[in-house]
Structure 1
Amino acid sequence: MSGKARTVPIHKLHGCGNDFVFIDNRALGLPVAAMPDWARSVCRRAFGVGADGLVFLDETPKDREGDYIWHFYNADGSRAEMCGNASRCAALLAVELGFAGPKHVFGTDAGLIRAEADVAAGMAKVELTPPRDLTLGIELDLGEGRDMVHFVNTGVPHAVVFKRDASTVDVRTLGAALRRHTHFAPAGTNANFAQVIDRRNIHLRTFERGVEDETYACGTGAAAGAFIAHALGLTESTVNVRSSGGEILGISIEGGSVFLSGKAVRVFSGEMFLEGLGLALA
């Protein structure tokens, strides 16, 4: 933190339009109990910095593994186990901030994430936590008739519905219905609507839990869509997933592992004024 102005250094990055504010917590030392309030204030668009999530990068405690850890919060202040696009952004920024080298491992609530960042190219690749709880063929009523829903946890829970034309789906309405469906209570799920273009290309749109709206991209959602499509025999083990923002995420399934790769873009670095956000440090 700097001077009497009570400002805090921040970094804004996005992965395929999925945007995040990052704070280096090594010097700031913000307690975890205060982080949800910071996320709600900082991520608020128009009145804050504006982002889908707030991420604190921190030193690794003695009882944990990895080159560093993160504390990840959605825009509504809820803590998330994992976020694929944020993990790619974190990997790139961590190299630039001196947390780790280009190939490293960092800790999330979902477990350790192996990452490889090419700062010069603005690209990052991460190995997500092993997919679990795969469930195919769940028939649910989402308010517009019965839909065939599939589920997998790729670090966070994801439900996937395949549509003939994903571009015409009312993601805000159907996504909210699926995200809060009693079948996934009480935690809820992220909701994805996927269209298989061919065996190597998918179009996917995501309604994100915690953001409570469609986002331009979702890395773990892309992984879930690709993993389920492959399990159903619809695609190859390596596919390109086009997000609603038009960007491409690469997903490859190798054995029991899922890899996510794509651009990670630093938009700006600067300082935010705590008073303007209604925040303070003790």
Structure 2
Amino acid sequence: MRFNITKCHGSGNDFPLIDARHLSLSDAAWACVARALADRAGPVGGDGLLLLTAGDETHAFGMRMFNSDGSESETCLNGLRCTARAGFAALGIERARVRLKTSDAVVVHDPDLAPGVFTVRETAGPASRDIAAWPMAIGRAENVDMPIAGLPTERAFTAVAMPNPHLVTFVDTVDDAELVRVGTVCESAPDWLPNRANVSFV
């Protein structure tokens, strides 16, 4: 099968994007496509694969996001900016409710932040601190501004799903090496965090 691919980026993440509204592939097949296209050593590369999917009675269109290892994410808000732009162009609209894997979001084409910078405002959620739903098995129901024993740092994090899991900490300066260490653990899907999490040093 041949695909038309758009290479796009949103707020620092880059992705191949496919208009899949009229395509019918199994999840396993899309996982294979994601591994091939998002491979940084391959001809395209990216942080994952975005799919613009068909809408329904309450959503103008949908988005699916497959990670570079072929697993599917609940969502990716930077990827949603890219998919929103593709959906707006395909349908001739500038505002939409978008179906995500486990939730939905409202996206609006805002005035460009700078010349040539296509700007999308997103309203997603609801955000939740219920880590049992991730799941994150650390012996408590929430983690608010507390260290997490499984991470290679004593830094305090707040765990919040938006709706995909995030571990957020506020810092004066970003320690790149520490960020990589923490991110590597979260990306490895340890037993206590089987669905992984995004890590944000803010």
Asked if Structure 1 and Structure 2 have the same fold, meaning a TM-score greater than 0.5 normalized by the shorter chain, the answer is yes
Q: Partners of 1:116 and 1:106 in 2: how far apart?
A: 11
Distance 1:35 1:23 in 2: 11
- Contact 1:10/1:23 (<8 A) preserved: yes
2:34 alignment partner, one of 16, 33, 39: 39
Structure with higher Rg: it is: 1
Q: Deviation at 1:31?
A: 3.1
Change (3 A) 1:74 1:180: closer
Equivalent residue number for residue 93 of structure 1: 86
**Kindly tell me: are residues 72 and 34 of structure 1, through their superposed partners in 2, closer, same or farther at Cα, counting changes over 3 Å?**
same
Task: Say which of 143, 151, 155 aligns to 2:152.
Answer: 143
Q: TM-score, normalised by structure 1?
A: 0.59
SS class of match (1:7): coil
**CA RMSD for the aligned pairs?**
2.5
Q: Distance in 1 between matches of 2:24 and 2:186?
A: 38
Paired residue total: 185
CA contact (8 A) 2:152 2:181 kept: no
For 2:28 and 2:191, how far apart are their aligned partners in 1? Answer: 31
* Residues 121 and 171 of structure 1, relative CA distance in 2, 3 Å threshold: closer
- CA deviations on 1:137-194 (whole Å, 9 max, x unpaired) are 32234335x2222111111011123333214543221322355586942323222222
* Equivalent-residue separation in structure 1 for 2:194 and 2:22 (angstroms): 37
Name 2:20's counterpart in structure 1: 25
> For 1:68, which of 50, 61, 75 is the aligned residue?
61
Name the CA distance, whole Å, in 2 between partners of 1:50 and 1:89: 16
Checking the alignment, whether the CA contact within 8 Å between 2:51 and 2:83 is kept in structure 1 is no
| Partner AA of 2:95 in structure 1 | K
Gaps of 5+ in 1: 1-5, 195-282
CA distance in 1, matches of 2:192, 2:93: 39
Give the deviation of 1:102 after TM superposition. 0.3
- Which residue of structure 2 aligns with residue 56 of structure 1? 51
Amino acid at match of 1:107: R
> Which runs of at least 4 in structure 1 moved beyond 6 Å after TM superposition?
none
Take 2:192 and 2:58, find their aligned partners in 1: how far apart are those partners? 31
Structure 1, 44-53 or 78-87: larger mean CA deviation:
44-53
Higher relative contact order (CA 8 A, sep 6+): 1
Kept in 2, the 8 Å contact 1:83–1:155? The answer is: no
Structure 2 residue aligned with 1:249:
none
